[in-house]
Structure 1
Amino acid sequence: MSEVSQFDTVTKAETTPDTPQPFAELGMKDDEYARVREILGRRPTSAELAIYSVMWSEHCSYKSSKVHLRQFGEKAPETDALLVGMGENAGVVDVGDGYAVTFKIESHNHPSYVEPHQGAATGVGGIVRDILTMGARPVAVMDALRFGPADAPDTQRVLPGVVSGISFYGNCLGLPNIGGELGFDAGYSGNPLVNALCVGVMKHGDIKLAQAPGPGNHVILFGSTTGPDGIGGASVLASATFDDESQAKRPSVQVGDPFMEKLLIECSLELFAKDLVVGIQDLGAAGVSCATTELAAGGTGGMRVELDRVPLRDHRLTPEEILMSESQERMMAIVEPGKLDDFLATCAKWDILASVIGEVTEVTEEEAARGGRLVMTWHGETVVDMPPRTASDEGPVYERPLARPDDLDGLQADDPTELERPSTDAQLREQVLRVLSAPGICDPAWVTEQYDRYVLGNTVLANPHDGGMIRITDDGDRGVALATDGNGRYTRLDPYAGTQLAYAEAYRNVAATGARPLAVTNCLNFGSPEDPAVMWQFSESAKGLADACLQLGTPVTGGNVSFYNQTGSTAINPTPVIGVLGVIEDVHNRLTSSFSHSDEGAKIFLLGETREELGGSAWADIVHGHLGGLPPQVDLVAEASLGEVLADGADNGLLASAHDLSDGGLAVALAESSLRGGVGCEVKLGEEPFLALFSESAGRAIVTVRADAEGAFGELCARHGVPATPIGIVGGTDLALTHANGEIRIGLAELRTAHESTLPQIFNASR
């Protein structure tokens, strides 16, 4: 064999069938490796093994979740709004006037623990490229974050780095961060959740797909060079349980360059506008392995690639390392020969490196039946010869064992109704302040003010309001609103109902802006799929979301599953994060969550029914450290009716503000609305002030009604069957809460100190 063929070629693989291979170290099981050998009819080369190991990883193949995710399609509601559904880089929905919106949420949990700044930054970069790949201009980002206790040393290390990574990358790209969540719980110690969402806007005709049609078309890699950063990131970090050696996996974390990504965005959009590409894919998890196999599988099924042509940052990289590298800011395009010069000239204009690395090929009927044919060479010799669909679409599918958690009956029986409740107004006052100042409930401005919320000039709503809202064009009034929500306590107590509650809260938050909910994305964060209890939680959660979306007519457009979120044998609370997108025809009608001085004297109405529901509540958790009982009841019909009232009330100018009730109940909602507008309120709590303040019954919101609209609003609520109870008025400088036997009065200055000082005290002190 010649000197240049000392690496592992197909010829060598055919003649050395017994050569040991490190498949287990790459995360493959014995039976998976055996199946690869069966597909190929020989042992894989090192390069082929690299491709299958990353493409069949949990992160890329969804091998443990596919059987449950299918119901999002099987139960999908009928709607003309869905233009592109699951299976592409992101879903696309029609938002009217010839415009479409694409949005998606994904996780970067494990990398953000190992290297917080770069892990979070590249999470933003990756989701932005997913949106760009659909042919859209990215217009906004959001993030849903969960950490361990705020004052824990681990959180002191991880949170500032994650926040700096998100702000650095998003701010450099010039994308507004319009919302999200910030939560703290001991269960996330050592395993934070960093879920990033991006939304983009396009015309209907601008939609691009991940496909490689047209034999003879060029395969072009453009963007950054390929280096050793992120090698094996998808399989090494995102598809394995954390342990004490996790910190040693720093090489598996990608390194981002937002300035290169900004150039890549503008270059790609010009390429799209000039109609210079027929297929496009970003290089995220699994890098070249993913882009080539998915593009080939989505087209004719044939592709030939010369790995020597891949521009390298480190020329010592082997073929398998090139294939597994997750270097950021890279894209792969399929380009017709007649448009090659224009493509390369456009890239040169933006100072983007572009290299032709291969071409689309014909496949025979026999090859097509086997899943196509992907051939890759290195130094003139073949190192990959495989059917690409077997890697991208035909990976292993597991029906993991399911078992209801052994401790669940005991948890549900441990009802919080027996917990000691405040018996005096002084105690009630103290607990209002205690809940309001707790990390996860308190003002997240220490985090969110590090993000630019208004760059690009089309932000209509952003933190701290219930949802973010973007005007979709510079010269139009149409907008979209988004919200993400999830409650791990609820889902731990009942994964089916807990997931529906997360969906309902996001749906309600979007409606509270005045928008009408239209579609859903999700990021499902769970422990190890090899644990039957975790898989039972996952199956119940997926079923709950599918059933809820079917009932309320909002299709799941895509999303992400993140397994192995646990440290050792301790899994996080199951945390499905649900993103809902809604449409508003005129952003001038949007609602904020703030009481306003201009509306002093306006009546405050509580919409919905309040019941004794404290299971998984913020009060039980913060005041007593308790988790038990059942979460609040789910009434999706009531949620839909409430959404109609809020959207109609906004459209018709009946409402001055709206704020949903969720964590912390009425106490937190009233305090937040008062603080956000700088004006107090006077509210009557009735006979049971404790339950009135801290119950977390779902399907509720507080609204302020314009003085001349009370009659019309009452008719609107009656028409939709939504209970509307007048509870007080806007005005004054206190949060004044009266009840049958007394009064609680907290000045706005004291309220603000409690709500706003927690995170600065914790994290500024740690610097």
Structure 2
Amino acid sequence: MKLSDDDHALVEERLGRPPNRVEEALFVNLWSEHCAYRSSRPVIADLPTEGEDVVIGPGDDAAVVGYDEDHVLAVGMESHNHPSYVDPYDGAATGVGGIVRDILSMGARPIALLDTIYFGGFDREKARYLFEGVVEGIGDYGNSIGVPTVGGQTYFDESYNGNPLVNVVCVGLASEDELLTADLKGEGNALVLVGNASGRDGLGGASFASEDLSEDAESEDRPAVQVGDPYTEKLLIDATLEIREYAKAARDLGAAGLAGASSEMAAKGERGVRLDLNDVHLREPLNALEILLSESQERMLFEVEPDDIETVLGIADRYDLEASLIGEVTDEGFVAQHEGETVVDLPPGFLADGAPTHDLERKEPDESEPPAPYEETHDGLLDALADPNNASKEWVYRQYDHEVGTRTVVKPGDDASVLHIGDGGLALSAGCDSERVSARPYEGGYETVVENVANLAAKGARPVALVDCLNFGNPERPEVYGEFADAVRGMGDGARDIGVPFVGGNVSLYNESEEFGTAVNPTPSVGALGVADDPDSPRATVDGVGVGTPLVVLDATDEPSALSRMAEDIAEGAEAAHDVSTGGVAVALAEMVGENGVRAETDAPFDAQPGRVVVAGDPDSFDGTYETGRIGEVTDGGLTVELDDRTVELSRDEIDEARSALEDAM
């Protein structure tokens, strides 16, 4: 692990001496793109981050937003892309574990997960192997810790052949007086490490995530992939929710391990720390550098006042968790000792936050129109429904326990999931149509925000917060950095126009592989949180809706700020509602078919322009500024689509058979 010449010179100038071997390795990891956002900080600074519901914005392990008088919500979004290519099961599982601990470190109980996962062409055996392993890893870990996976997105495209994407959103619930933050509070307080023993798994994970995948990544980089233990995580969740009463600050051990967590806590609190690495509980003999950078999972670091040390150690013991008193808070400096020697002596703010940014060369991206892949015929509509990006994802979410906790009212497979909390409902959506972003990065970034907020509106929920996972290729290539900058600018403008802030997220760059020589599609995946007054939201199908009930398209494409008003109208006047997304209006109509059917007219059946919702209900119930008029009505069965010069009809059996294509293939 070696610093670049420029970074080495900067470190040596600041320290007044060359860094030793251990210190240099810490800088390599904490100054990596994955930890320091060196290329992305100048770009993401454009995103709006403030709003009336924001309690804690970007900068901690997770953000916190208000929900009602009794509850706040912690929310975060993370990626585990490179590890999921090398080891799809463990890479995805530990991605879930990591984001759950981010929420936990804020003092919140994790209550929901969403996964947005992207793979290569579905016809490729390797893509299906990665898909199967990732879904199993997410399901096994989430099911074992008792946190429901309630929604997300599964997407296939050739651009992900050599580099899948695994992005996970987690939401937690707390009262405001239960919240924790990462900033250290008081000199003389103790640092207590709770959870699994430290081992060699995950060493160098932060730097590994900041480079392209090599052709030999599956064998060479396997040691950089962490191995998860969900049963220990479940114990750690329960123990932390007791420890939070005594903790002054908390941080989970993720990227860069103990070195990352402790130096970041010190920097945020403008304090120092002194660590005795001999006191860290280990799974195997490790040297000082390995102890500091181990990314072994299921570990939390707490700041505890001296009088409460024994209480915290006792709670850990009651949950059969190992715990060690490993250091203390000081007035300044990041100092680590091992076997009687000082192996690290650095300014914590310089280590954690001192990496210089790279405002790289940008090339304006070439723009095109997204392709129209389907014919406007009977068989063309069946092809659209059978496309893996449109087909039913029941094969995926059937493997997830989405009802544990008994809060899930609207389950996976709808536009957004809804959880019953307090007197209302929390609506959750996540995803990105990367093909549209690739064609027109600015418009695609804007549309990604609109699409997820429209998903909330279809459930009658107003948006309160957004998080993101910005997945792009090598930013050192001007065309990639140009796509990145344009897409983020579009996201920021979309959020401002709607009036909802980005409160946190993650940047994942270098998503490309030597084997295929291309970057992934620009994929700014967005997670959206919304609040509904009534958790009993309108469903996407027209089952139970009276035959003859009008179908209306509500369109906020040109006025995204209308989405909140649209949500109120849908909550009050819609008997069924379904967002228009990939596949366009025709696919949305087919997905609304159940025991009842629909008939509608359209001149652009596969237009996937977001910001539109098809609703069943009285047209007079909706604001005329975004209501485009009646397009059809509910029928007693099947789908009828009237085009300019032909009528296409599908039976429910044909729809069901086409939509089961992904499950049949798996």
TM-score where L is the length of structure 2: 0.97
Paired residue for 1:512, among 458, 481, 486? 458
Kindly state the Cα deviation for residue 643 of structure 1 after the two structures are TM-superposed. Answer: 3.8
State the distance in 1 between where 2:596 and 2:207 align.
52
State the distance in 2 between where 1:158 and 1:293 align.
35
Match of 1:434 in 2: 383
State the distance in 1 between where 2:578 and 2:147 align.
26
Contact 2:105 2:251 in 1 (8 A): yes
Contact 2:499 2:561 in 1 (8 A): no
State the distance in 2 between where 1:684 and 1:729 align.
10
State the distance in 1 between where 2:254 and 2:645 align.
61
Paired residue for 2:247, among 259, 268, 277? 277
The amino acid that maps onto 2:664 is Q
Secondary structure of 2:221's match? helix
Q: Does 1:264 align with 2:236?
A: yes
Match of 2:227 in 1: 255
Q: Does 1:135 align with 2:107?
A: yes
Rate the CA distance shift 1:649–1:158 in 2: closer, same or farther, 3 A.
closer
What is the RMSD computed on CA atoms of the aligned residues?
A: 1.7
Paired residue for 1:702, among 603, 614, 633? 614
Kindly state the Cα deviation for residue 32 of structure 1 after the two structures are TM-superposed. Answer: 1.1
Paired residue for 1:723, among 627, 637, 651? 627
Contact 1:76 1:546 in 2 (8 A): no
Match of 2:43 in 1: 68
Q: Which runs of 4+ in 1 moved over 6 A?
A: none
Kindly state the Cα deviation for residue 561 of structure 1 after the two structures are TM-superposed. Answer: 0.4
State the distance in 2 between where 1:262 and 1:299 align.
29
Paired residue for 2:149, among 177, 182, 185? 177
Q: For residues 696-724 of structure 1, give each alpha carbon's deviation from its aligned partner in whole angstroms, at most 9, with x where no partner exists.
A: 2332110011xxxx2xx525322xx1123
Secondary structure of 2:327's match? strand
Paired residue for 2:581, among 634, 640, 662? 662
What does 1:333-732 correspond to in 2, within 5 Å?
333-363=302-332, 373-405=333-365, 408=366, 411=368, 422=375, 428-472=377-421, 476-568=422-514, 569-588=517-536, 590-608=537-555, 635=558, 637=559, 639-650=560-571, 652=572, 654-674=573-593, 677-685=594-602, 688=603, 691=604, 693-705=605-617, 710=618, 713-714=619-620, 716-718=622-624, 721-732=625-636
- Name the stretch that deviates more: 204-213 or 639-648: 639-648
Q: Does 1:117 align with 2:20?
A: no
Secondary structure of 1:96's match? coil
Rate the CA distance shift 1:598–1:182 in 2: closer, same or farther, 3 A.
same
Contact 1:151 1:762 in 2 (8 A): no
Contact 1:717 1:724 in 2 (8 A): no
The amino acid that maps onto 1:39 is R
Q: Does 1:734 align with 2:638?
A: yes
State the distance in 2 between where 1:552 and 1:163 align.
33
TM-score where L is the length of structure 1: 0.84
Q: For residues 275-301 of structure 1, give each alpha carbon's deviation from its aligned partner in whole angstroms, at most 9, with x where no partner exists.
A: 210010000111101111011112242
Structure 1: gaps spanning 5 or more residues: 1-21, 364-372, 610-633
Contact 1:597 1:731 in 2 (8 A): no
State, as a whole percentage, how many aligned pairs show the same letter. 39
Structure 2: gaps spanning 5 or more residues: none
Kindly state the Cα deviation for residue 40 of structure 1 after the two structures are TM-superposed. Answer: 1.9
Kindly state the Cα deviation for residue 198 of structure 1 after the two structures are TM-superposed. Answer: 0.3
Secondary structure of 1:694's match? coil
Q: For residues 45-98 of structure 1, give each alpha carbon's deviation from its aligned partner in whole angstroms, at most 9, with x where no partner exists.
A: 2221221111111101101101111222xx445x32110001111111111223
Match of 2:6 in 1: 31
In proportion to residue count, which structure has more helix? 1
Q: Does 1:744 align with 2:648?
A: yes
State the distance in 1 between where 2:300 and 2:316 align.
12
Match of 1:294 in 2: 264
State the distance in 2 between where 1:435 and 1:174 align.
36
Contact 1:119 1:162 in 2 (8 A): yes
Secondary structure of 1:156's match? helix
What does 1:190-269 correspond to in 2, within 5 Å?
190-236=162-208, 238-247=209-218, 248-269=220-241
State the distance in 2 between where 1:578 and 1:740 align.
36
Contact 1:400 1:530 in 2 (8 A): yes
Q: For residues 368-418 of structure 1, give each alpha carbon's deviation from its aligned partner in whole angstroms, at most 9, with x where no partner exists.
A: xxxxx011100111000000111111112111111124xx15x45xx868x
State the distance in 2 between where 1:113 and 1:246 align.
8
The amino acid that maps onto 2:600 is V
Contact 1:301 1:389 in 2 (8 A): no
Q: For residues 678-712 of structure 1, give each alpha carbon's deviation from its aligned partner in whole angstroms, at most 9, with x where no partner exists.
A: 32122234xx4xx2x1122332110011xxxx2xx
State the distance in 2 between where 1:323 and 1:694 align.
53
